[in-house]
Amino acid sequence: MGGQKKPTITKLKKMLQGKKGKKEREEKKKIEYGVVITPEMEKELTTYIMRQKYVTPFIVSRKAEIKLSEAKRFLKKLVDTGKIQLVIKNRELEVYQPVA
């Protein structure tokens, strides 16, 4: 009397394709961000930052494949040494600029 209707053939094909699509999405390369900044990486990052017009913690994090909090800590260290200066800061964004 009641119950669920049987799906049509095309609907079955679409359901199976949807499951395959999810598997392909899961296979994407996930970047595992590190925590430690080595001296070589530090030197490379400072030269990269000094060549840019501006830099944000997100840009540094992506470039060096480190955590965002570690990138913020690194940029604050550069501000303390006087190599870069803070231009804009609000709750969501920090923009730094190299000192010429």
Residue 52 lies in a domain: yes
User: Which CATH number characterizes residue 83's domain?
Assistant: 1.10.10.10
Give how many domains the chain has, as a whole number: 1
pTM equals 0.68
Residue 64 lies in a domain: yes
Under 8 Å between Cβ of 84 and 49: yes
Written as one string, the DSSP assignment of 13-38 is HHHHHHHHHHHHHHTSPPPPPB----
Element (H, E) at 40: helix 39-51
Residue 16 lies in a domain: no
Residue 59 lies in a domain: yes
Expressed as residue numbers, the domain containing 79 is 39-98
Interval 24-48 mean pLDDT: 81
| Residue 60 structure tokens | 């540094």
Residue 62 lies in a domain: yes
Residue 51 lies in a domain: yes
User: Which segments of 2-92 are extended strands (E)?
Assistant: 84-89
List pLDDT tens digits, range 40-70: 999 999 999 999 999 999 999 999 989 999 9
Compute the Cα dihedral for 56, 42, 44, 36 and give only its sign: negative
